[in-house]
Amino acid sequence: MTQDQLKQAVAQAAIDFILPKLDDKSIIGVGTGSTANFFIDLLAQHKMAFDGAVASSEATAQRLKGHGIPVYDLNSVSDLEFYVDGADESNERLELIKGGGAALTREKIVAAVAKTFICIADESKLVPILGAFPLPVEVIPMARSHVARQLVKLGGDPVYREGVLTDNGNIILDVYNLQIDSPAKLEEQINNIVGVVTNGLFAQRPANLLLLGTKDGVKSIK
């Protein structure tokens, strides 16, 4: 199977998981990236089964609207049962690195509101220890050099992601060479640096369910 077929399979597994639990008032949190895009395209075939969606990025909002799926502002939504999104890495505890697509802050906000965060990924994303994928950190532009110096003190090698502005108007530093033994602790330490908006570790609020696309089928890890 190709990587795209694995992504398609986990997207379908997420649909199969949530569909029986939806009603015409349900609003679904929808993530960003190529795996999430497969999910959006499949979700569009079930428009009558739910009310609408909250998007974790402008790109996702556009894709949802393109399918005729209503997109709600998160502030107008009190109840979000499911958030479905991809990841750049996951460990067995479902702690994640996200933000390769620069949408980490909105993704973390939607994940915080959702009762159940379903991560969908192909098997290449499951790792024993997080950190081979450079950790994205969203930073207020004027704080870039200050935050980079603090990240070096934490043992990382931050690299400015040239030419990228987030949906929130901020920049991204990708932090290389971190061996992340305590993801929740590092998440907190980085978030405590003045000028950091958020970082791509999802450990304090990990996923609740990982649907992992493998050559032997979709594995479900809780």
List the catalytic residues. 107
Cβ distance to ligand ABF smaller for residue 118 or 143: 118
Question: How far, CA to CA in Å, does 186 sit from each of 105, 119, 179, 198, 204?
Answer: 16, 21, 10, 12, 10
Cβ distance to ligand ABF smaller for residue 111 or 186: 111
Q: How far is the CB of 98 from ligand ABF (least distance, A)?
A: 3
Binding mask 103-122 for ligand ABF (x = CB under 6 A): -x--x---------------
Subset of residues 34 to 73 that bind ligand ABF, contact rule: CB under 6 A: 34-36
Count of other CB atoms within 10 angstroms of residue 152: 12
Cβ distance 87 to 134 under 8 Å? no
Binding mask 75-104 for ligand ABF (x = CB under 6 A): ----------xxxx---------xxxx--x
Q: Residue-wise over 127-146: b if at least 16 C-beta within 10 A, else e?
A: beebbebbbbbbbbeebbee
Pick from 17, 29, 31, 43: which binds ligand ABF (CB under 6 A)? Answer: 31
Q: How far is the CB of 213 from ligand ABF (least distance, A)?
A: 11
Among 132, 128, 134, 133, which Cα is nearest to 151's? 134
> Binding to ligand ABF by residue 29, rule CB under 6 A?
no
Cβ distance 82 to 116 under 8 Å? yes
The rounded distance, in Å, linking the Cα atoms of 61 and 127 is 30
Cβ distance to ligand ABF smaller for residue 10 or 27: 10
Binding site for ligand ABF (CB under 6 A): 31-36, 85-88, 98-101, 104, 107
